[in-house]
Amino acid sequence: MKQGSYKHSKAGIILRFLLILGAVFSLFALDVFKGSVDIPLERVLRILFSPAEWLSETGGLTLEQSGQRDIILLFRLPRAVTALLAGMGLALSGLFMQTLFRNPLAGPSVLGINAGANLGVALVVLVMGGAAGGFVATLPFGMKALVTGAAVFGAGAVLGVVLLVSRFIGSVTLLLLVGLMFGYLANSLVTLMIHFSAAGRVQAYLQWTFGSFGATIWNDIYILLPVIGVAIFLGILLIKPLNALLLGEEYARSMGVALIRVRMIVIVVGALLAGVVTAFCGPVTFVGVAVPHLARGIFRTADHRTIVPASLLLGGATALTADIVSHLPGQGGILPLNSVTALLGVPVVVWVLIRSRAGRSFI
Amino acid sequence: MLVEVCELLKKVVVGSSFLLLTVGSLQPLTALSVEYAEGFSIEERSGVTLLNIHPREFENYNSITYALVEQDKHQGIAADELRERLSIESNESELQIIRIPIKKLIPLSTTFLPPLLMLGIDDVLSGIDNLDYIYSQKLRSIIDKRDIPQVGNGPSLDMEQIVQLQSAVVMANSTQGEWNVVPKLKDASIPVVLNGDYLETSPLGRAEWIKFIGLLCGKGKEAEKHFKSIATRYTELRQMVQTELSENTERPQVLMNRPMNGRWVVPGGEGYMAQFIEDAGGDYLWSSDSHSSSLVLDVETVFIKALHADVWLHQYGSTSLQELSQADQRLLKLKAFQTKKVINNDARTTEAGSNDFYESGPYQPDLILADLISLFHPSLLSGHSLHYYRFLE
């Protein structure tokens, strides 16, 4: 790892963290303050910070006022929280994949992990969904937990198989190809299921694949938050062994890292993150692959002590930005999230990669 | 030399037989007229019925003219020749000769089927898209009894089946991308007739396409008669609403559909459903919108408008109030939910996924209108029991 003159000073790193943290806060606030319905800033603040007067169902609010309260508390807040959590989760998952496979192209959508999660979701929804149609966000609570479990299991299954194959294939390129193949397999199974399902669901499925942070309600966040919280906690515990892995498996082993156990935990956490986010937000692409590169480019290091928190924050910021932009068209229109993430993100990431030599020297 | 003579002879024969046809049908073929539909028109030229289709969204095919030529009349005439005889400018539209009455028809959409029953010409049915999408018990038993094959649609269209059904005419929608089966069929020289009923924005306009199918199958008069009675009843109902509701009468505000994945898709204010709601004396929340296609909106925009709505119409998916509230508790806040004015158009559906609202519904707009009137203004049609709609419980 040649860091040499590219390495930032400690103060530089702290400054960068503070700036990004500030950006996350501002973006979160912006996502809550601005929406397709115009609500005056002063009223939003009042709804958020003097809820007693605003929360009572019978408190003499006009229909317009209670509608605005519901929009802030029941639509925008859960959406912003979902975007933040999903962005963090996807970025961390992508970082894990890149370190684990020692490949800059790795990420949940590239390795077929998202496809595995899709397969899990489709299996439960299409086979057991009954006449209700629709996808995860329109399911009753019990079903949601089941679907989430299936998505995590599907993601884990693909990831596990890819890693198993990696024991026999030395080439990372080949390994990525294998991941892609399993992704195609999972996707074709989903297509097959869609093909044999009632016509209305095809539309619902298509909508789901556009990706959205706005499909969740608070009840969903009660699943999303603990899962992502635990995964982040585990991610922090994994910083040391991940750093060792960066230097190669031989080195890691010599450092006393229990490789098999670490790999197992990384797989489970990566699948958990990708699976749970996919279940609730649809297959959100790009964030997982790109954000770790953005983090390495900005901080000019591959050290997980820096890159884990940086990826988490930048992941949240990226997702929030995408959510804000997807609500920009005006007149209540909305853009598909997946096209926004890539449209906005690709130029930024390419610029960062070209500008900093970090793109070549780390992973 | 010999070839030239043959060509000349052929021309003479064809030409004279054409003349015979023209003379033979001098008694005026009372041309049907189109009153409401915007997507097709009917024209008579030298005794040949011309069906012009020009739906607004058929961008790829500016306009197509189907020349309806009787089965036994001038065999072997080419489209160009007919064009010349009927003096149709060659840049006017693409001309396609269709032999009528069509003996074998493969309708690739469920909505093309009901006219066959209504006009008593179900014997032309030679292939269907997918049995699962068909609601009518009568059609299902006919298909079963005659062992009519399913040929699929879009990417899963079974070309071999269609080719095997020799000289069958395929009726298709015009769609884009891989769902566009028209080029594929044309490559195989299979006659295709495009039907643009789904693009009509007025209920009567959509119902009027029964004339299109009727003419192709040699039942134009019957189709006209059928349509006339539907149109009369529809207009009467609409008139009744207009006279009974005074200027000051409150029209119920109408909300449509449910949120899905953070978006709420609602029909445009100039579209088919908006017209129905207007005619039934309802106040559609997006009536001032100027789109005929659906609007994809952010949930919060719809939610704040929807709070006051009196009636909530669904088009798919929602099965019960409990299912709706479990999926999204926020919907409990809507007035229409609290007053249980939540209605779905799925009263007539099958397990497999067919819905009669989209099958016979387009040809019975009077029934849909009556349903809506009785939902919006129960006192105006007190004896009416819902046909396509039902209250969610």
Give the β-pairing of B283-284 and B295-298: unpaired
**Span B356-370, mean pLDDT?**
96
Q: In chain A, whose CA is at the least distance from the CA of B154?
A: A195
Asked if A74 lies within 8 A of B330 by C-beta distance, the reply is: yes
B contacts of A134 (beta carbons < 8 Å) = 260, 317, 327
Best-predicted range by mean pLDDT among B16-25, B83-92, B234-243? B234-243
A contacts of B153 (beta carbons < 8 Å) = none
> Which tokens belong to A227?
């899962």
**Span B38-53, mean pLDDT?**
88
**Span A294-299, mean pLDDT?**
90
> Which tokens belong to A267?
């797989």
At B11 the pLDDT is 54
A contacts of B288 (beta carbons < 8 Å) = none
At B251 the pLDDT is 93
Cis peptide leading into residue B101 (ω within 30°): yes
At B380 the pLDDT is 92
* Element containing residue A193 per DSSP (H, E): helix A172-195
| pLDDT grade for A143, boundaries at 50, 70 and 90 | low
Closest CA to B281 of B314, B246, B309, B306: B246
Return the bridge partners of B40, or none: B53
B contacts of A133 (beta carbons < 8 Å) = 316-317
Report the alpha-carbon distance of residue A177 to residue A179 in Å, rounded: 5
Mean of all residue pLDDT scores within chain A: 81
**Span B177-200, mean pLDDT?**
84
Asked if B329 lies within 8 A of A219 by C-beta distance, the reply is: yes
Report the alpha-carbon distance of residue A207 to residue A214 in Å, rounded: 12
B-side interface with A, Cβ within 8 Å?
A: 132-133, 156, 258, 260-263, 295-304, 307-308, 316-317, 319, 323, 326-330, 333, 351-353
Residue A134 has pLDDT above 50, yes or no: no
At A202 the pLDDT is 63
* Element containing residue B52 per DSSP (H, E): strand B48-53
Asked if A137 lies within 8 A of B262 by C-beta distance, the reply is: yes
What single DSSP character describes residue A196?
A: T
Dihedral sign of CA atoms B259, B261, B271, B234 in order? negative
Digit-coded pLDDT (tens) for B112-147: 999 999 999 999 999 999 898 899 999 999 999 999
Q: Determine the straight-line distance between the first and last CA of chain B, rounded to whole angstroms.
A: 82
Residue A84 has pLDDT above 70, yes or no: yes
Q: How many CB atoms lie within 10 A of CB B244?
A: 13
**Span A251-259, mean pLDDT?**
79
Report the alpha-carbon distance of residue B287 to residue A236 in Å, rounded: 54
User: Which range among A67-76, A252-261, B310-319 shows the weakest confidence by mean pLDDT?
Assistant: A252-261
Asked if B260 lies within 8 A of A71 by C-beta distance, the reply is: no
At B25 the pLDDT is 43
**Residue B268 burial (CB < 10 Å; 0-12/13-18/19+)?**
middle
Q: Which of A71, A282, A334 is closest, CB to CB, to B303?
A: A71
